[in-house]
Amino acid sequence: MGGQITRNTFYDSLGGTFPATSQRCQHKPKRCLPIQQCSVGLSSFPLLFHPSAKGSQIVMDMSQRTVKRQASFCNGITFSNRPIALYEQVRLKITKKQSCWSGALRLGFTCKDPSRINPDSLPKYACPDLVSQSGFWAKALPEDLSNEGNVVSFWVDKKGRVFYRMNNSSPMLFFSGVRASEPLWALIDVYGLTRGVQLLADNKWRRYLVRLLFSVPRQSPRLSGFSGFASASHDGSQHTAVTSLRHLLTR
């Protein structure tokens, strides 16, 4: 289980400013990057599950936001469709719990591009099998936090430390040692008690979708570049584009 982090570690992990009144801080007060230290090139695209790099028991919906393990308690490894920016929070809602198993969701990161991973080569378990390979880092979420409806957020800071937050609780230090200097994809193993999860849209992306929704009548080529808008192609089917946008906004 991750340890409760100090106030200074919390500010540092989010890229915030160190509190000037803290007597424990061993660093001189300094101006740091804002809380969302996310690269525009990354966070301007929706965060989805990777469509092909997944365990043999994983089924995914058309939006690539919801996955479920069909059977057994393993073979549920999944990845994000794009790299995660430093401090970008990956938000997951636990949609299905199966109490007949033990163990729960495994969360982490990899510097291996999922597009280059052969799904048949994925092991049954992220821990300890996958994390024993170079470039993979993950840890099990505590079982008592793995209830249906819970929302877990996790992120990595510039020092390679991974933090998580359950619902609106305080951030917890999860583990460290991630190579933060390399591109990192989210690693999510739908394991044991956890049978289904849903990726929640970032508020910034939802605001972008709203603006895009109102601009649909002027047919835009921006739509063709996003998963979920495949049917909004050159045939000018704007109605389908609007339906897809509204579907994403309700996720």
Enter the DSSP assignment of 51. S
- Average predicted confidence (pLDDT) for the chain: 78
Cα 5 vs. chain centroid, distance in angstroms? Answer: 21
Map residue 248 onto helix, strand or coil: helix
**84 & 169 share domain:** yes
pLDDT of residue 74: 97
The answer to whether residue 158 sits within a structural domain is yes
Tell me the residue range of the domain where 234 lies. Answer: 204-249
Listed residues 200, 218, 236: the one ending a domain = 200
pLDDT-derived band of residue 218, with 50, 70 and 90 as boundaries?
very low
Alpha-carbon span 230 to 116, nearest angstrom: 23
Quick check: 163 and 34 in contact, CB under 8 A? Answer: no
Hey, which residues does 69 pair with through a beta bridge? 58
- What is the average per-residue pLDDT within 149-155? 98
| C-alpha dist (Å) from residue 16 to 29, 182, 198 | 11, 22, 28
**45 & 94 share domain:** yes
pLDDT of residue 45: 83
pLDDT-derived band of residue 201, with 50, 70 and 90 as boundaries?
confident
**55 & 94 share domain:** yes
**67 & 186 share domain:** yes
pTM to 2 decimals? Answer: 0.70
For residue 161, what are its two tokens? 């430390």
**63 & 185 share domain:** yes
**77 & 108 share domain:** yes
The answer to whether residue 12 sits within a structural domain is no
**174 & 232 share domain:** no
The helix, strand and coil proportions of the chain, stated in percent and rounded to the nearest 5, come to 20, 25, 55
Quick check: 107 and 100 in contact, CB under 8 A? Answer: no
**91 & 123 share domain:** yes
Higher-confidence residue of 154 and 35: namely: 154
For residue 136, what are its two tokens? 């993979």
The answer to whether residue 31 sits within a structural domain is no
Cis peptide before 217 (omega within 30 of 0): no
Chain segment 100-142, per-residue pLDDT in tens: 999 999 999 999 999 999 999 999 999 999 999 999 999 999 9
The answer to whether residue 233 sits within a structural domain is yes
**95 & 191 share domain:** yes
Chain segment 225-241, per-residue pLDDT in tens: 344 333 333 444 455 54
Quick check: 241 and 228 in contact, CB under 8 A? Answer: no
Highest mean pLDDT among 5-19, 27-41, 79-93, 193-207: 79-93
pLDDT at 206 over 80: no
Chain segment 10-67, per-residue pLDDT in tens: 445 555 433 333 333 333 333 333 344 554 456 668 999 999 999 999 999 999 999 9
**188 & 68 share domain:** yes
For the chain, the domain total comes to: 2
Q: Which residues contact 36 (CB under 8 A, 6 or more apart)?
A: 15, 43, 87, 88, 204
Higher-confidence residue of 69 and 219: namely: 69
**169 & 229 share domain:** no
**135 & 215 share domain:** no
Q: Which residues contact 81 (CB under 8 A, 6 or more apart)?
A: 47, 48, 49, 50, 51, 64, 114, 227
Map residue 195 onto helix, strand or coil: strand
Quick check: 117 and 77 in contact, CB under 8 A? Answer: no
